[in-house]
Each structure stands twice: as structure tokens, then as C-alpha cells.
Chains A and B, each alone.
Chain A
């Protein structure tokens, strides 16, 4: 698999291109791509469908990256605003999810550069001072074993929070959202080799942290 770049700008536009389009192949068979093309053609209801399909996963991803429920919600909104504004320029040169997560990832990385996220207690590369798990508004405990699930969930959340931000992004996009390493590399503007290393380091660190907490 070779690299490609996402023609995406800070103004939310889709640039002139994805490289190696032929290799990536068109993705117009993808239901999301169909909806995006319909939106570009003027079907506003397609936007609602895309929002219904993707706002939840996107929110869960962004919450783990920026570690703040309100900021994550704002980034979801901004991601969809950019999607909407790009609707007429959109071309199905990659999977829709890759395109969407690339926008969200870059917004999240910009957000993390802002001074309010530079507090050492919330650093993406350092441990939290109290190890407290992020309280995510709206998370609903599982019904079967609420206490146990909650404890396990908190352990995992704490462990995720301790990962460096790029490891966190690479692992989540790959393991949870199912993006290929090439797609993650495009989102993070790096190489597949780097993504492979990021994902592996992240997974090893999580295994150790989760194992340590459970012992």
C-alpha cells in the first residue's frame, strides 16, 4: 500500500485531489458516498442521514482525543459544517469515513495546540495528576453488570488518556473505526510505517496499563 494525500484545506474545502486515485479506487458504491453525492446534488435530507450515521462515532472518537466533552461536541459540529460546505466539491476518491475522520483529526490536532489544552494536568503525553477518568456526558453503563462494566470502562478510559495524542488517534481509528493504516496515515499526514509503530506502541502501553490496574 502506498501513501496518498488528502486535498483538504483549513477552510474545509476538498482540494484538487487525492493522489493515486486509481489505486485507491472510486468508492461510489459506499452508502455514505451515495448520501454525500446526493447532498451535493441538493438533497438536504442526505445531510441528516449522514449526521445520524456518523455523529455518534465521531463524538466518541473526539472525546477520547480532546478529553473534553464540550470541545468534542464543538468539533463534531465543525466537522459536519465543513462537510456541508464541501458538498458540491466532494469527489468519491476514498472511503467516506476516511475523509470524515481526516477532517475531524485535523480539527482535533489544531484544538490540542490551543493554549487551553496545554495545561500539564491535561497533557496528551503526560499522566493525569489524579488519574481520574474523563466523565463523558451521556455515557450509559451496560445493563447486565453495571458496576463491573463501569470499573472496566473507567480503567480503559484512564489508560487511553495516558497515551500520547498521535498514538491515541492512530489506535482508535484503526482498532475502533476500522481505518486501514494507509487511511490513518492520510489523516495524520504521516507514513504507514509510522502508523504501524504508533498503533503497536499504543496497544502495548494499553495492555500494560490495563493489566497493571487489574492486578
Chain B
């Protein structure tokens, strides 16, 4: 290290802190004194100060008010949705027959998943008007009310709690550990897409799903993706996502899409 570099090294890391006013007074004085006597550090300080000015210019660009309004509207809508179930009778007494049928299926799936029996069970899709796609599809997918979805989520959580057999048979199509790790958050999206859950319920389910055995988790998700309430387009989207995550093999995806 040259003599100059050695002299500057103790001050180098403090140049930014000086600009950010994060040094105590004695140290700030030392760094300033050094910069005043060192051309290299003085130039360095100017360059770093220029960065700050550039950042502030970028940050000063105004935001389109229409975007702010749209975000505010979306928040208001979400809060209205969240307020609704609380004003209604206890959810457990109101689950419609169709929903109860699915709850039973979900519980069955979690249990049967342990035995590896449900992997390729397919159901004929019920024709439902297909929504647009992507996020829009997610939002429009709520063919049932949020309250009903919360009931389903509650029972899904109970289904997930069903003891998983220790001797789950091996599966050639089982995803890798890395893929399953990536699946954890995606799985919540899958369930959110299926049941249009509130964020709180989603978080609770995320924890439960994370605790599942990998095989049980992948099969549960697979079964969820085949729910009768989904439109063909939604099912396709889910299957594609599950395939991308390694939860569904290409062959399984092809069979599921039939």
C-alpha cells in the first residue's frame, strides 16, 4: 500500500458517513481536516456528494396522482372486504353445501396424500366464465364470497393438521428440496387464488404449509389446483405454476389438463 493510500485508508469508509451526518463531532472534524489536506479524498468527497445530488433529483420526480388514487382505492376496497365477515353470523354455521363438499375433499386430500393415493385424481371441471388472466383473474376468481373462503381456509388449516403418515411412499415425480422451498410462498398464492383469502389467513396458512412434509405439501397443492370451482383457464394457470415449481411433472400436468 502506498504512503498516500495508507494515510487515507482510515478515513475512506467515513467519507459517506460524513455526508450522511452519521459521525460524532470529533470524528467528523478529523475526517474534514483530512479531506482539506488531501486532494484525493477531497475529490472523492465531491464525487460522493454528486451521487447524493443525483439521487435526490431522481427522488424528486413527482408521482402521477392517478397512481396514488388507484392505490388508495385498492386499499379502501381491501379494508371494506376485511370488515365484512366480522359483521356476519359465525362462519361455521353458514358454510354452504358446496363448500362443505370441498372441505371434505380438502381434508381427504391431506390425509390421502400421506398414502400417496390422490396424485392423479382428476375431476371434471365445472364450466365457469373464464376471467381475463393473471392478477385480474385472481381478483375475479372469487366465485364465492370471502366469508365462505375464510370458512374453507379454516377447515383447510384443520385438514393440514391431520397427521401425515410416516411411511409416505417415494414418488419419482417428487420435487427437489430447493423447489419445495420455493413452493412455500407460492403455495400460499395457490391457496389465495383458490379461496381469495385475507392476508392474515394467508399468513397463518403459510406457517402451516411450511410445517408439512414435502410430499404431503406438494400433493395437497396439486389437489387444491383441481378444485371444481376453478374455471378451466384458472386451472391451467395453476397447473403451469405448479409445473414451474416442480410440484407437477410435465406428464402430470398434461393429464390434469385433459
Do A and B come together as binding partners? yes
Point out residues on A near B: beta carbons under 8 Å.
Answer: 10-12, 48, 51-52, 55-57, 59-60, 70, 73, 76-78, 80-81, 84-85, 110, 113-115, 136-142, 149, 152-153, 156-157, 160, 171-172, 174-176, 180-181, 196-197, 199-200, 203-204, 206-207, 210-211
The interface-forming segment of B46-54, B143-151, B225-233 is B46-54
Interface string of B33-48 (1 = CB under 8 A from A): 0000000000000011
Residues of B within 8 A of A156 (CB): 54-55, 57-58
Point out residues on B near A: beta carbons under 8 Å.
Answer: 12-13, 15-17, 19-20, 22, 47-48, 50-52, 54-59, 61-64, 66-68, 70-72, 74-75, 78-79, 135, 182, 185-186, 199-200, 203, 206, 244-245
Residues of A within 8 A of B66 (CB): 138
Looking at the assembled complex, report how far the CB atom of B244 sits from the nearest CB atom of chain A, in whole angstroms.
7
Contact between B67 and A84, CB atoms less than 8 A apart: no
The 29 listed contacts between A and B (C-beta, < 8 Å) are A10-B206, A11-B199, A55-B71, A56-B68, A57-B59, A59-B71, A70-B135, A73-B70, A73-B71, A76-B71, A77-B71, A81-B79, A114-B185, A138-B62, A139-B61, A140-B61, A140-B62, A142-B61, A152-B57, A157-B58, A175-B51, A175-B55, A176-B55, A196-B13, A200-B12, A203-B48, A203-B52, A206-B51, A207-B50
A90–B126 CA distance with the chains assembled, in angstroms? 46
Looking at the assembled complex, report how far the CB atom of A55 sits from the nearest CB atom of chain B, in whole angstroms.
5
A157–B55 CA distance with the chains assembled, in angstroms? 9
Query: Of the candidates A11, A76, A206, which one forms a contact with B203 in the assembled complex, judged by CB atoms under 8 Å apart?
Result: A11
Closest to A192 in B: B22
Known: A59-B63, A115-B182, A172-B55. A78 touches B199 (CB 8 A): yes
Known: A115-B244, A140-B64. A196 touches B22 (CB 8 A): yes
Contact between A200 and B13, CB atoms less than 8 A apart: yes
Query: Of the candidates B54, B68, B79, B186, which one forms a contact with A115 in the assembled complex, judged by CB atoms under 8 Å apart?
Result: B186
Query: Of the candidates A70, A81, A176, A210, which one forms a contact with B199 in the assembled complex, judged by CB atoms under 8 Å apart?
Result: A81
Contact between A210 and B55, CB atoms less than 8 A apart: no
Contact between A200 and B17, CB atoms less than 8 A apart: yes
Supplied contacts A10-B203, A200-B17, A206-B55, 9 more A-B pairs, CB within 8 Å: A11-B200, A48-B72, A78-B199, A80-B75, A156-B55, A160-B58, A181-B22, A204-B16, A207-B47
A55–B185 CA distance with the chains assembled, in angstroms? 26
A12–B135 CA distance with the chains assembled, in angstroms? 23
A48–B72 CA distance with the chains assembled, in angstroms? 8
Query: Of the candidates B15, B50, B59, which one forms a contact with A60 in the assembled complex, judged by CB atoms under 8 Å apart?
Result: B59
Contact between A203 and B16, CB atoms less than 8 A apart: yes
Query: Of the candidates B15, B16, B50, B64, which one forms a contact with A137 in the assembled complex, judged by CB atoms under 8 Å apart?
Result: B64
Contact between A210 and B74, CB atoms less than 8 A apart: no
Residues of B within 8 A of A136 (CB): 61
Contact between A197 and B72, CB atoms less than 8 A apart: no
Residues of A within 8 A of B20 (CB): 174-175, 181, 199
A51–B67 CA distance with the chains assembled, in angstroms? 13
Contact between A176 and B59, CB atoms less than 8 A apart: yes
Known: A152-B54, A174-B20, A181-B20. A60 touches B199 (CB 8 A): no
A137–B66 CA distance with the chains assembled, in angstroms? 10
Contact between B186 and A196, CB atoms less than 8 A apart: no
Query: Of the candidates A77, A142, A200, which one forms a contact with B74 in the assembled complex, judged by CB atoms under 8 Å apart?
Result: A77
Known: A76-B71, A113-B185, A153-B61. A171 touches B55 (CB 8 A): yes
Closest to A200 in B: B16
A77–B47 CA distance with the chains assembled, in angstroms? 36
Contact between A203 and B78, CB atoms less than 8 A apart: no
Looking at the assembled complex, report how far the CB atom of A175 sits from the nearest CB atom of chain B, in whole angstroms.
5
Looking at the assembled complex, report how far the CB atom of B224 sits from the nearest CB atom of chain A, in whole angstroms.
18
Contact between B71 and A137, CB atoms less than 8 A apart: no
Contact between A207 and B72, CB atoms less than 8 A apart: no
Closest to A174 in B: B20
